[in-house]
A = this chain, B = another copy of it.
Amino acid sequence: MDIVIVGSVALDDVRTPAGEVKDALGGSAVYSSLSAGYYAKPGIVGVVGQDFSEEYLKLLASRQVALDGLEKADGKTFHWAGYYEKDMGIAYTEDTHLNVFASFVPKIPTNFQKVPFVFLANIDPVLQSQVLDTMQNSEFVLLDTMNFWIETKRDDLMKVIARVHMVVVNDAEARQLSGEDNLIQAAKWIQSQGPQGVIIKKGEHGAVIFWEQDMGILPAFPVPVVKDPTGAGDTFAGGFIGALAQQKSVNITTLKSAAVAGTIMASFTVEDFSVQRLLGLEKKQILTRHEKIQDLTNIRPFALEVYE
């Protein structure tokens, strides 16, 4: 195993202009592990309820996601209901039932504890810290968070941020966390709190990577038809850490390649509901998008005359 992912496993009700699904497989650990699995071997730590179907477990196992850390607790699985309007950039939450996730305490199986790459998806920062206490060989820890924790558990969040190598947040979260409106300043502030790197997700506008003194900018892989953006951010983070784990060394070049992998996996996710598009992808489909994004972003060496 290359990556331990700690996060939510969910059943989602989602409605978009393109249709709807009920009790569909979702959650940060699910999206990110399915995505990471195209580049490396992930295992997940999470919890489901008694209502979680065998079929979904088989599906995760069929994609080589190690499930030793997936606990089955009394009660119901974490359930999210929400919808998107024409502008798919905004998710409207109708209902969140934490269910078994409310009392979730991550238990890291022994065979997970020496895994070098760790993705702490968006959960209570106190739990994120506890995971790090248990991990014994972390070479690279990526942390996600959200406005709720920034507002309600800021001190705990800053403590765990100080312990990780990289933070992955969206632009609004970066601004909220740092108090800086400019994203370069926001990233510098986050880096000053401990992490060597920050990756700022901007949805359809791509991502900006900061690593020590270096920086990289990547667009999102553009898709003409978006059916359901749920899980795009987690898919990005999963593809990112998966591709990074495969490359082993961490520097601005490997981080940029990893972010490309992340945006490409996310571009598949949004093309269908739930994790459907992440299940049967062929190597060729993925590589085609890798070539395409290089082509889209490639800038010819500058050969223009400049008149002072």
Contact = CB atoms under 8 A, between A and B. Distances in A.
A204 to B, nearest CB: 8
29 contacts: A37-B307, A38-B307, A38-B308, A39-B304, A39-B306, A88-B181, A182-B225, A205-B206, A208-B222, A215-B222, A217-B297, A219-B219, A256-B299, A256-B300, A257-B300, A257-B302, A257-B303, A260-B299, A260-B302, A261-B304, A283-B307, A283-B308, A291-B302, A293-B299, A294-B299, A294-B301, A294-B302, A297-B297, A297-B299
A307 B286 CA distance: 10
A222 B184 contact: yes
Given A182-B225, A293-B299, 11 more contacts: A39-B307, A87-B181, A215-B296, A217-B296, A217-B297, A243-B304, A246-B304, A256-B300, A257-B299, A257-B300, A297-B299
A224 B307 contact: no
A55 interface: no
A292 to B, nearest CB: 9
A236 to B, nearest CB: 15
A163 interface: no
A185 B217 contact: no
Listed residue (A38, A182, A217) with the most chain B CB atoms within 10 angstroms of its CB: A217
A218 interface: yes
A213 to B, nearest CB: 13
Interface in A203-251: 204-206, 208, 215-219, 222-226, 243, 246-247
A287 interface: yes
Nearest to A293: B299
A129 interface: no
A114 interface: no
Contacts of A283: 306-308
A57 interface: no
A277 interface: no
